[in-house]
Each structure stands twice: as structure tokens, then as C-alpha cells.
Chain A
Amino acid sequence: MDRSLEPVDKKVVIAVVNGELTVKRLRKMNGRIVLMPENKDYHEIELIDGMDCEIWGVVAHVVHTL
């Protein structure tokens, strides 16, 4: 996680939606801001005015054990 990075289009971010932390890909398209899941079992979340949501930080690296 790097909170100093600017959350721009296509970045993977940690967002706080209704008090819960969630990992999503941030998309800014045609004036819409959408949190896209990479996992089909989750659905996308469009950010609209008045919604309880904030971008917590930008994912910079992924540590994987294979």
C-alpha cells in the first residue's frame, strides 16, 4: 500500500465502502467513477454523490507465495 500515490484511472486501490475495506480497480470513465472487482463473484460499485466511500490508498506491490 502506498497512500502517497494519486488514485488515478486503472489503479488498484483499497477503498472504504460503508466502513468496510475492499480491494478494487479504480475506473474513471465518461465522468463516472466505478470500483471494479477483478473477481466475478463480486459486483462493481459506482461512486455517486453522498455515498459513504473514500479511497484509503493505492496498491503499489503484491507479495505472493507461489
Chain B
Amino acid sequence: MKSIFALVDCNNFYVSCERVFNPKLSGRPVIVLSNNDGCAVARSEEAKAIGIQMGAPAFKIRHLINAHQVSVFSSNYALYGDMSQRVMQTVSRFTNQIEIYSIDEAFLDLSGLQSRRHSGQPPGTLIDHGRKIAATVEQWTGIPVSVGIAPTKTLAKIANRLAKKLPSKNRVLELIDPADIQKTLEKTRIKDVWGIGRQYSDRLKKYGITTARALSQIDERGVQKLMGINGVRIVKELQGIPCYQLETQPAPRKGITVSRTFRTEINGFNDLKTAIVAYTSQGAEKLRTQRSATHMMLVFAASNRFKSHYTFHTATAHLAIPTNDTPELIHHADQCLQEIYKPGILYKKAGVIFKDLVCESPIQTGLFDMQNKKRCRRLMQSMDMINSKMGSGTIKYAAAGLVPGQKWQPLSRQRSPAYTTNWDHLPKAV
């Protein structure tokens, strides 16, 4: 059976989320900024049209923002995460063969549909199916999506990109016909091929390979030499031979990192400690969510890397018995921090990394602290449940800072309400 993949990709996702609950934004230039209100990470079509580039630092586009009255938002991950779930839920009503690839993209395996098509259904079924998915998602969630359909994931990515670019396609494009595929690959630059980064793109250019079509025609040994096994896979995928299957079960993460750049530079130990404790708590919660525990914890703190005398220090704690217990990890974090902290350094960034993750196992401990461990785990379970029901941070360890607006907390001056996840933020209609 010939395989068929579809990539469903939300259009300007963060901006679209803002627009669902703030209809006044439609038809106007809108951008969403990254953490600390740093760079533009999402742009409406209108914002792209006036020349705001992806990743442009906010201070560099201030003049455009003012001249065109661009609506600017801080990232609102509570909203985007929740809207993403709604989109994915809606998409999964069409098939259980779904891989949630990122916050705003999902791959679907539509091979089953294809076989039905050969058994006598009229042609056009795939595209109709894609249109139905797109229309349903937009109607149910308010988020516009594009759908690219092709024999491999890599080609589906290209089809999706084209679906967004060509208004005549109504956001759904099928790239199945071999002649169509060749024509499209000819017009696709290699840097727009899934998995081709800057480095490969530059290397290929040296050999005169600039289009996806040229890339798809290199022989296997040549690619292997230039780009290794991953390159071979990319080329095969471009030729329509699937090498990447649908990954319906996300692989549990092997490491967890929580790190942030601070709003302002900080130098007091206590300020730095509250930040580290807050990150540790977040990381520990992530560990418990995916039911794993860590063998090794790494704490780092760094000064502003754009200034002279850049410093970056790390300390690690090895844990004999893997854990995901917040207070235990906070204790180790504190010790690590005491090792690396130096008065006089202006810290701009810090974080914690949990490595060597293992499955959370039934508690196996020394002889004496059995009862304690059980109670600890129950405490963590209760805390996670309360925080998931009543909003994250409802209860937390005091060492993570009680007063909001601490120096290390990210700046988000223009965050929209958490419309869908906080009762107090529900949009009002009269």
C-alpha cells in the first residue's frame, strides 16, 4: 500500500490564538514577542507585509510598530498550549494515526484513505478530506490551518509550505503526481527542505546544489559522503520513498532543561536562588508528568554574554537513588548554587538540567526511610493535582519566591488574558 502523509500546520499560530478572542485584531498587523518581550516570534500576514522579519528584535522594529500601529503581544503560553490541545483534539477526530510534531503542527497517516480511493471512490478524495479537516478545525477552534498531503513527511512539509503561499489552493495542497512533485522540487530552495540546516545548505551550495530537485537527484554514495545517513534519508524522502514513519507515541525525553534569561541582571545570592528553585520546581513537575526520575542534576549560572568578562559556571549533583521529589531536588540545587555563586558577578541567565532520566519505579529505598518516601510521593501527587486543577503555581515551595514581579522573572508587558484556562480571564460578551 502506498503511504500518504498529511501535515496539518496552524497559520501564524500564536497570532491566530490572540485573534480568536480578540476579533478586533483581524485584518490588522499583529505580532507576538518571545520571552522577555525580545523578538517577534509570530507575525500576522499584515505584519509580514510591512517588512517585519521572523525573529526581529523588538527594539529594532519599533519604528515599524509605531508607523503601522502594529498590535504587539507578549507570549501567552497558557493560551497557546490550551488552543494547541483543542486543535490536536479536533484533528484526531479524523484519524488516530496522528503525530503531534510541535505546538502547531501534526502529521497524519492517510494511507488507509488512499486504499479506499483505489477501490472505486471518485478521485479528489484526499484533497476533500484535507479541506474537511481544515474547515472543521477552523470552525471548532477558530484557528486557521493549512494541510499538505504527500507520499512522505518531507514532501508533506513542502506541500504545506506551498499551500500557505498559494492563495488559490485554499490552504490545502496535494503533492502526489510525480510530475507535480518534480515541478515543485525545482522551485523549492534546499534551505526550505525539512532537516536541511544552514550548515548543509552552505555545503551543498558549494557543489552547485541549490534546489530540492537537484538534491533529490544526487546518488546515494554522494549524499552519504556529504551529509551522512540523515542526508540519505532526506533524499529518499524527496524521491517519494518514506524513511520517517509516524511517531504516535512521543519518545520520553532523555533530559529536561529549564532555563531563562532574566529581565535584569541580578547579583544577590537569594535572588539567584529563588530563580534556581523556581526552575527546579518546574523541572521536577515535568519529571513527574512523564513518570521519570533523574540520576543527575546540573545547575548553571551565566553573566550577560554580550558584555565583557562573560562567565558561565556549572555544578552537578549525582543522585545515588534517582528522584523526582521537589524538596530533595531543591536541596541539591541549593548546594550546587553555593558551589558556583560568586559575589560581584552580574548574572543574566541561569537554569537547571536533569540528565540520565530513568523510569519512575516503585519506591526502592534503604531500610529506614520507606515510610517517608511514600509520604513524599503522596505530597508531590497532591501538589501536582492541585496545581493542575487550580492553575500552576497555586501551591509552591516558598523558596521559589512568594512575591510576583521579581527581578529574574521574565518581562511580559503585553500579555493577553488566559482566556481559556483561568475563570477570571474569560472573555465577556454583552
**Is there contact, CB below 8 Å, between A21 and B142?**
no
**Is there contact, CB below 8 Å, between A14 and B139?**
no
Q: Does B23 contact A (CB under 8 A)?
A: yes
Which residue of chain A has its CB nearest to the CB of B24?
Answer: A19
**Is there contact, CB below 8 Å, between B23 and A19?**
yes
Q: How large is the interface on A (under 10, 10 to 19, 20 to 34, 35 or more residues)?
A: 10 to 19
Q: Does A3 contact B (CB under 8 A)?
A: yes
- Distance, CA A22 to CA B428, complexed state (A): 8
Q: Does A16 contact B (CB under 8 A)?
A: yes
**Which label, helix, strand, loop or mixed, suits the secondary structure of the A interface?**
strand
Q: How large is the interface on B (under 10, 10 to 19, 20 to 34, 35 or more residues)?
A: 10 to 19
**Is there contact, CB below 8 Å, between B428 and A21?**
yes
Which residue of chain A has its CB nearest to the CB of B141?
Answer: A3
**Is there contact, CB below 8 Å, between A21 and B23?**
yes
Q: Residues 407-430 of chain B: 1 if any A CB is under 8 Å from the residue's CB, otherwise 0? A: 000000000000000000001111
Which residue of chain B has its CB nearest to the CB of A4?
Answer: B140
**Is there contact, CB below 8 Å, between A23 and B429?**
yes
Closest Cβ of chain A to B428, distance in Å, is 7
Q: Residues 140-178 of chain B: 1 if any A CB is under 8 Å from the residue's CB, otherwise 0? A: 111000000000000000000000000000000000000
Residues of B within 8 A of A21 (CB): 23, 427-430
Closest Cβ of chain A to B163, distance in Å, is 23
**Is there contact, CB below 8 Å, between B429 and A4?**
no
**Is there contact, CB below 8 Å, between A22 and B429?**
yes
- Distance, CA A19 to CA B428, complexed state (A): 13
Return the contact of B430 from the options A22, A54, A56 (Cβ within 8 A). Answer: A22
Interface, chain A (partner B; CB < 8 A): 3-4, 14, 16, 19-23, 42, 54, 56
Interface, chain B (partner A; CB < 8 A): 23-24, 26, 136, 139-142, 427-430
Question: Could you jot down 14 A-B contacts, CB within 8 Å?
Answer: A3-B139, A3-B142, A4-B136, A4-B139, A4-B140, A19-B23, A19-B24, A21-B428, A21-B429, A21-B430, A23-B430, A42-B430, A54-B23, A56-B23
